[in-house]
Amino acid sequence: MAVWGLPKVMAIKSEDFKEKGYIYRKDEDGSVALGEESVFSTRARIEVEQSKIDSKYVHLRFSYSNRYMQRTVPWSYAIAAVGRTPQEDTSDPFCTLFEPIRVGVGLGNNEFYFIHVQSGGRLVVDSTSFVFYVDITGSSSLQGHLRPVDLDSLARLPVRANVAFIGSTAHYIKAYLMGNVNHFQLSSNVPHDAYSRHQVSQMPDGHVQLTSIYWNTLWRSSGLWIIGDTNDQTDPDTLFMPFKINATTIALRASNDNFCDRRLFKDMFFNCITPLSPSPTALAQFQVEELVILSRVGNVRYQIEYARVIDEEPYSGWSSTVVNDGEVDLDFAVSFTYQDLKEYTFARSFSLETGVPTVIDAALPFVAKDASVDEAASRINAHLQWNATNTMTTMVTVRGSVQVPAKSSVVASYVGKRATCNVPFYYTETDTINNLSPTPNSVAVSEGVDGLYTATNCYDFELVVEKTQAL
């Protein structure tokens, strides 16, 4: 792994207290603690940013609050995610650099611990409060062991409605009876009937259980086959881990650490689903189709207090040379038109594209003149796709004047800045569910707390004279 190997986006478990869930940021004071149950919680999502001064160091930023881990005060070694910007000065008590040190050896063993760079102490968790602090005494040489979970590789499957799985043959997985055993076969052309419908139940650690609507049983890994013959939710063979292959495709790892795939057996077992693939080959990849007719997203509440502006850089909207060949200084009127491009994205923790038409009604915040975030900059009410970049292009005409000295030319430019803002948000989702006939379609309303809005735009323009030259 590069930067020793930490994932770019991760959740973290403690090896010292495995039953205590994941590291998270407390809302009330920003302290970093152990105890978040779900790997997909917005409070547990951490982004790893590589240091600019040394590639072995990293900054740790909680994604949805945009706060960096650091010491709380110079006289304490308590750690909280309260830093608004990364700090690389290792003499500063509020330095946000950590060094991950790998403990495990061998392929797949990614156990590690953190050294707080500024103090040289180890990041450990208090066994009573389960809050993290830096131990500078050296007494914790066997403590603080952690294990990362790569959130970019996990797929969070939808649970609001039934789903159908599409394989490499462009057919759906359906319930299939063979030899008095409830099998699953990649053979259906119909996603909406009972044979092809499945319901996802999400486990806190990322595993799922899948219920066949037709069999009314859980999927189970059993020797050569995936079958539906139990409703025992404690059976470990009913657990599957979905991994993300791309924006639309997943692979399901069974309890035997193999992936579910379709087997080209002859006769009646042709294209039946088995847990036998050691890797997520093409035969083990499936698209997920969510049986939702329409999703409407509204009541979007931006958490402006956690917004951040990044990647600010100069931007030139227009530049031209203005010539004065007269004997006296003159003011020249200038008029020009430039293309103003804005980009924005609505994202959330459900990162798969599942084919659901989505209408989003929300304000569009953009970076304002003072590098703040203007929540009322614009608005949208349209069909959009989660995690997709959208653009707004307008032609802007600017008029002004430039003073040019006698017998001289000047280069006049309309210059500004371009930057990106990130803003977490809450939202209300109203879904029209495609129910199994003859049950009529229904409407389900849910609250989301995992939204993350990103926008890039230009701002803070002014007409300036960049160069004056005698003729």
pLDDT tens, 282-338?
A: 999 999 999 999 999 999 999 999 999 999 999 988 888 999 999 899 999 988 888
Q: Nearest Cα to 207, choosing from 224, 191, 219?
A: 219
What per-residue string of b and e applies to 375-400 under the rule 16 or more CB within 10 Å gives b? Answer: bebbeeeeebebeeebeeeeeeeeee
pLDDT value at residue 262:
86
Name which CATH class applies to 163-290: mainly beta
Residue 219, CA distances (Å) to 113, 183, 194, 254, 278 in order = 37, 9, 15, 10, 19
pLDDT value at residue 2:
43
Three-point CA angle 409, 329, 407, nearest 5°:
40
Mapped onto helix, strand or coil, the DSSP state of residue 236 is helix
In one-letter notation, the amino acid at residue 107 is L
pLDDT value at residue 317:
87
What is the rounded average pLDDT for all residues in the chain?
Answer: 93
Distance CA 237, CA 222 (A): 7
The gap from C-alpha 376 to its chain's centroid, in whole angstroms, comes to: 24
Q: How confident is the model at residue 5 (pLDDT cuts 50, 70, 90)?
A: confident
In one-letter notation, the amino acid at residue 252 is L
- pLDDT above 80: residue 399: yes
- Beta carbons within 8 Å of 153's beta carbon, 6+ residues apart: 7, 243, 244
Alpha-carbon torsion (457, 459, 463, 467), positive or negative? negative
What one-character-per-residue DSSP string does 278-297 give?
SS--GGG-EEEEE-EEEEEE
For 294-470, the fitting CATH number among 3.40.1390.10, 1.10.3720.10, 3.40.50.10860, 2.170.15.10 is 2.170.15.10
pLDDT value at residue 72:
93
What per-residue string of b and e applies to 116-145 under the rule 16 or more CB within 10 Å gives b? Answer: bbbeebbbbbeeeeebbbbbeeeebeebbb
- pLDDT above 60: residue 129: yes
Q: How confident is the model at residue 1 (pLDDT cuts 50, 70, 90)?
A: very low
Structure tokens at 335: 């008029």
Distance CA 245, CA 152 (A): 10
Distance CA 291, CA 237 (A): 26
CATH of the domain spanning 3-150: 2.80.10.50
Placement of tokens 């909207």 in the chain? 317
Cross-strand bridge partners of residue 201: 209
- pLDDT above 70: residue 242: yes
Q: How confident is the model at residue 409 (pLDDT cuts 50, 70, 90)?
A: very high
Residue 75's Cβ-count burial label (10 Å; 0-12, 13-18, 19+) is: exposed
Domains 3-150 and 163-290 belong to one CATH topology? yes
Q: Nearest Cα to 206, choosing from 149, 281, 161, 288?
A: 149
Evaluate whether 386 touches 158 at the Cβ level (below 8 Å): no
Q: How confident is the model at residue 106 (pLDDT cuts 50, 70, 90)?
A: low
Evaluate whether 58 touches 224 at the Cβ level (below 8 Å): no
pLDDT tens-digit series, residues 35-50: 999 999 999 999 999 9
Average pLDDT of the residues in 384-406: 92
pLDDT tens-digit series, residues 54-99: 999 999 999 999 999 999 999 999 999 999 999 999 999 999 999 9
Q: Nearest Cα to 156, choosing from 14, 39, 48?
A: 39
Distance CA 211, CA 204 (A): 17
Structure tokens at 80: 């909280």
pLDDT value at residue 264:
66
Distance CA 63, CA 233 (A): 33
Structure tokens at 349: 């923790």
DSSP class of residue 268 equals G
Evaluate whether 92 touches 118 at the Cβ level (below 8 Å): yes
- pLDDT above 60: residue 468: yes
- pLDDT above 60: residue 3: no
Distance CA 93, CA 71 (A): 7
Q: Is 49 left (phi over 0), alpha (psi -120 to 50) or beta?
A: beta
Structure tokens at 136: 């500078």
Residue 147's Cβ-count burial label (10 Å; 0-12, 13-18, 19+) is: middle
Distance CA 283, CA 259 (A): 10
Three-point CA angle 267, 272, 276, nearest 5°:
115
Average pLDDT of the residues in 424-436: 96
Residue 310, CA distances (Å) to 26, 68, 422, 425 in order = 24, 14, 8, 18
Q: How confident is the model at residue 267 (pLDDT cuts 50, 70, 90)?
A: low
Percent of the chain residues topping a pLDDT of 90:
81
Domain ranges of the chain: 3-150, 163-290, 294-470
